[in-house]
């Protein structure tokens, strides 16, 4: 594989940058607008409301006294480096994997920035029904979810995006 081929998929890191920028802008909005006004009701089952997550997914490990921040920031950086290495090794026909990796890297680094700056992750997207509430999440979490979904589709031989080159 030529150097040009191995770096072709690194061009998808623009998507990583977009995820980080949109994530940080929406979190800034959530902190400064939702933090002041409370809740913005969108639908009877959906609102935007500020939540600070000191743990991991669904708030797990939130009460560990701060050591979880070091762990999760380190994990985000290590995973991001590994995924960039994987991206360099992808074949020309594996663009959909580059997209998935880019989304995961963007989400991981977006949440890592929060942990470094605030010592928590800013969440604000909230789905619920009556007394049932899905944990708050954010754009970074959504990017990780979508990226992981692309990798799962690939694992089953069904690329979600028609990005294969002929």
Comparing C-alpha atoms, which of 23, 31, 60 is closest to residue 138? 23
62 vs 44, 69, 136, 146, 152, CA distance in Å?
Answer: 29, 9, 14, 24, 28
Give domain status of residue 6, yes or no.
no
Give domain status of residue 92, yes or no.
yes
Separation CA 125–CA 51 (nearest Å): 9
The contacts of residue 114 (CB under 8 Å, 6+ apart) are 27, 120, 121, 122
Q: What is the rounded (10 degree) CA torsion for 148, 162, 11, 145?
A: -20
pLDDT at 166: 45
Give domain status of residue 68, yes or no.
yes
Contact 48, 34 (CB under 8 A): yes
Q: 69 in helix, strand or coil? A: helix
Token pair in block for residue 164? 């294969």
Give domain status of residue 162, yes or no.
no
Give domain status of residue 98, yes or no.
yes
pLDDT at 160: 54
Give domain status of residue 61, yes or no.
yes
Counting the structural domains of the chain, the total is 1
**Edge-to-edge, what's the strand order for the sheet holding 121-129?**
39-43, 46-53, 121-129, 132-133
Give domain status of residue 96, yes or no.
yes
Looking at the annotation, which residues are catalytic? 123, 141
Q: Write the DSSP assignment of 76-131 as a string of letters.
A: HHHHHHHHHHHHHT--TT-HHHHHHHHHHHHHHHHHHHHHHHHSSEEEEEEEEETT
User: Which range marks the domain in which residue 145 is found?
Assistant: 12-155
Give domain status of residue 119, yes or no.
yes
What does each of the 166 residues of the chain score in pLDDT, given as a tens digit? 555 555 788 889 999 999 999 999 999 999 999 887 889 999 999 999 999 988 766 555 555 566 777 888 999 999 999 999 999 999 888 888 999 999 999 999 999 999 999 999 999 999 999 999 999 999 999 999 999 999 998 888 765 555 554 4
pLDDT at 36: 75
């Amino acid at each position: 594989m030529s150097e040009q081929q191995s770096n072709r998929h690194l061009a998808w890191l623009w998507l990583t940058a977009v995820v980080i920028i949109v994530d940080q802008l929406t979190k800034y909005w959530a902190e400064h607008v939702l933090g002041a006004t409370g809740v913005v009701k969108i639908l009877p089952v959906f609102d935007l409301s500020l939540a600070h997550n000191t743990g991991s997914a669904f708030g797990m490990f939130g009460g560990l006294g701060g050591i979880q921040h070091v762990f999760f920031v380190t994990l985000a950086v290590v995973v991001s480096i590994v995924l960039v290495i994987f991206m360099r090794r992808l074949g020309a026909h594996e663009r959909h994997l580059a997209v998935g990796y880019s989304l995961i890297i963007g989400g991981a680094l977006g949440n890592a920035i929060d942990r470094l700056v605030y010592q928590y992750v800013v969440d604000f997207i909230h789905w619920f029904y009556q007394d049932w509430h899905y944990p708050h999440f954010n754009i970074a979490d959504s990017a990780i979810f979508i990226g992981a979904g692309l990798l799962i589709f690939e694992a089953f031989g069904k690329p979600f995006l028609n990005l294969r080159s002929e």
